[in-house]
Amino acid sequence: MQNWRDLLQARAPGYRDRIVHVSLQGDEGGMNLDMPQEVLTRIADKGSLAGARFCSFSFDNHYWIRWRNLASAYQRYTLEVARTDDPAQQVLAYRAAYSMVASGQPAPPSCGA
């Protein structure tokens, strides 16, 4: 693992299914900057095998898992906003705000209109 973020994301659904662990021997990778060709070939072969595992990867399932994670987080966030006593954080005219987004009127500032 490279850092704490890699470690945390490696456990999360939607991330962990895109990770293949490739074990390296002591003479492979790292600070072994002067590796002979046979070692480089061995590492490349391991990488090819790891890449081949992704050929059967289901992006449909992956997108579904990521969507479920997003929906869950969004639900928790929305419930927290709805429970707040701070009126600045509440969407008082929710139906009006939703209809504006659904109709696209007015256009969002990011579209340059």
Q: Which residues contact 19 (CB under 8 A, 6 or more apart)?
A: 10
Which pair of tokens denotes residue 23? 């074990």
Q: 4 pLDDT exceeds 70?
A: yes
Tens digits of per-residue pLDDT, 6-22?
788 888 887 888 888 88
In whole angstroms, give the CA distance from residue 31 to residue 48: 22
In whole angstroms, give the CA distance from residue 89 to residue 80: 10
Residue type, 19: I
Which pair of tokens denotes residue 76? 């928790």
Sign of the alpha-carbon torsion through 28, 30, 4, 70: negative
Query: pTM (2 decimals)?
Result: 0.50
CB 47 within 8 A of CB 23: no
Residue 49 is predicted with a pLDDT of 92
Residue type, 50: A
Tens digits of per-residue pLDDT, 89-99?
566 676 777 77
Largest CA distance in the chain: 68
Tens digits of per-residue pLDDT, 17-66?
888 888 998 888 888 788 999 999 999 999 999 999 888 888 888 888 88
